[in-house]
Amino acid sequence: MSWIDIGHIDEVPLHGARIVKTRAGCIALFRTAEAEVFAAADACPHKGGPLSEGIVHGQSVTCPLHNWVFDLNTGQAQGEDGRIATYPLRLEEGRILLDGAALDKRRAA
């Protein structure tokens, strides 16, 4: 894995989101707890709603357009036939590191 530093965890609001532009497109970072962040696609597969503007709760995000709820661990929509891409990341001394190899795979698809 090739890790890309995309910012400090404090740049993502607690129980909120932030968009980062990558070579694979825009990815949303969701901060679900003080030291817990997830990376996933920003667009809902249902109607393209901006998930970064949705409600972050537990380890899930709810789409602001039609209330689809996505598990940020797996990307699976709860009770619906839909999924969003998720991306591996890790925290290192407060820095968010995103797996560059996963971005390359997504871009090639």
**pLDDT by residue (tens digit) across 31-81?**
999 999 999 999 999 989 999 999 999 999 999 999 999 999 999 999 989
pLDDT of residue 22: 85
User: Between vectors from CA 93 to CA 74 and to CA 105, what angle results, nearest 5°?
Assistant: 40
Q: How confident is the model at residue 25 (pLDDT cuts 50, 70, 90)?
A: confident
Q: Based on the number of CB atoms within 10 Å of its own CB, is 87 exposed (0-12), middle (13-18) or buried (19 or more)?
A: buried
On the question of pLDDT at 93 being above 70, the answer is yes
Can you give the pLDDT at residue 101? 85
What distance in Å separates the CA atoms of residue 97 and residue 109, rounded to the nearest whole number?
A: 22
Mean pLDDT, the chain, rounded, equals: 92
DSSP string, 26-81: EEEEEEEETTEEEEEESB-TTT--BGGGSEEETTEEE-TTT--EEETTT-BBTTSS
Domains, the chain: 3-108 (2.102.10.10)
Tell me which of 25 and 14 has the higher pLDDT. 14
Q: Can you give the pLDDT at residue 90?
A: 95
